Amino acid sequence: MKKIIIGDNIVKSFGVDNEKHNVLDGVSVEINEGEFVSVMGPSGSGKSTLMYAMSGMDGIDGGKVSFDGRDLSALSEKELADIRRTKMSFVFQQPTLLKNLNILDNIILPSLRDNRKSAAKITEKARALMKKVGITELEKRDITQVSGGQLQRAGICRALISNPKIIFGDEPTGALNSKSAQEIMDIFSEINADGNAVMLVTHDAKVAARTERIMFMRDGKIVSELKLPKFDGMDMDGRVEKVTVEMRKMGI
Ligand SMILES: Nc1ncnc2c1ncn2[C@@H]1O[C@H](COP(=O)(O)OP(=O)(O)OP(=O)(O)O)[C@@H](O)[C@H]1O
């Protein structure tokens, strides 16, 4: 299976001199193309830091991260920016959309900077994505005139418009009620079924249970891993139970 990301013995520390401590303490992790993974662990265990290290958003202090066969530390800022723009996307707990633009313009804005594509093509793709996630009728709305779940759908459209190989989600359902959260997870499942890898950081067993591999972190290390079959809509309760048992074992 081809790997989209290989993180080898990643070390990341914060602080200065003798106050320094390793937030990532030699983490090795691989993600296959098209895989759907999640990361769980107590607050402060290093989940978000791992995601930012693996995406090259943040530099690392030791080890190596390869993305799509290229060592991220060997790339220039421009090469890194190109990879971030074309091969990976992020979805955050609160989508960072601009207040003075409507939903459609927010979705297409990042791609308009890529002058290899025409504005008409980008708009067409945005409309197809909005249809897919069920927000077609909201394209002219201001971002203050939609619900949190609808806003997150718009954030996902914006993330998908560049057709990335991997989508990183940092608590993408964290601000939503459980019904909206499961609807957003349906969208992530669809994205994954289309062939995109997805890596989510979550505290929610129901979110993690939708993924096929859950990595549990503690004190800057991956201490355990749970594998599940790809989610096919069946046995959600059994999957959540498996995740919950593992969380209990890990003391989460
Ligand atoms: N820029 C930074 N400067 C200093 N310390 C940081 C920085 N970013 C993260 N940390 C520290 O690194 C540790 C891990 O943070 P991280 O955000 O990765 O944890 P997390 O597992 O995602 O937590 P949460 O579940 O609360 O979001 C924490 O102790 C945090 O305070």
Distance CA 53, CA 5 (A): 11
Assign 227 a pLDDT band (cuts: 50, 70, 90).
very high
Output phi, psi for 189, to 5 deg.
Answer: -60, -40
**Residue nearest (by alpha carbon) to ligand 1 atom 26:** 43
Distance (Å) from CA 49 to ligand 1 centroid: 6
114-131: average pLDDT: 87
Helix (H, G, I), strand (E, B) or coil at 105: helix
Check pocket membership of 59 for ligand 1, CB cut-off 6 A.
no
Give the tens place of pLDDT for each residue, 80-104: 988 988 899 999 988 889 998 999 9
47 CB within 6 A, ligand 1:
yes
Q: 93 and 172 in contact (C-beta within 8 Å)? A: yes
Tell me the C-alpha distance between 67 and 119, whole Å: 29
Q: Which protein residue has the closest C-alpha to ligand 1 atom 28?
A: 44
**CA–centroid distance, residue 144 to ligand 1 (Å):** 30
Mutate which of 20, 21, 48, 200 for ligand 1 pocket (most atoms within 8 A of beta carbon): 48
189: left (phi over 0), alpha (psi -120 to 50) or beta: alpha
Whether residue 88 contacts residue 167, with contact meaning beta carbons closer than 8 Å, is answered with yes
**Does residue 226 have its Cβ closer than 6 Å to ligand 1?**
no
pLDDT at 76: 92
In angstroms, what is the span from residue 24 Cα to ligand 1's centroid?
10
Please answer whether residues 152 and 90 qualify as being in contact, where contact means their C-beta atoms are separated by less than 8 angstroms: no
Q: Report pLDDT for 252.
A: 81
| pLDDT-based confidence at residue 132 (cuts at 50, 70, 90) | confident
pLDDT at residue 10, as a whole number: 97
pLDDT, one tens digit per residue, over 6-29 is 999 999 999 877 788 899 999 999
What's the CA gap between 58 and 90, in Å, rounded? 14
Q: What is the pLDDT of residue 180?
A: 86
- Residue 18 Cβ contacting ligand 1 at under 6 Å: no
In the predicted model, is pLDDT for residue 115 greater than 70? no
* Distance of CA 177 from the midpoint of ligand 1 (Å): 25
Residue bearing tokens 């297409």: 108
Instruction: Indicate the angle between helix axes 178-193 and 148-160, nearest 10 degrees.
Output: 20
Q: Enter the pTM of the model.
A: 0.92
Is the CB of 46 within 6 Å of ligand 1? yes
| 126 touches 107 (CB < 8 A) | yes
pLDDT computed for residue 113 by the predictor: 75
Say how far apart CA 101 and CA 123 lie, in whole Å: 14
Query: Residue 119 has what DSSP assignment?
Result: H
d(CA 76, CA 110): 21
Q: Which atom of ligand 1 is nearest to the CA of 46?
A: 18
- Residue type at position 36: F
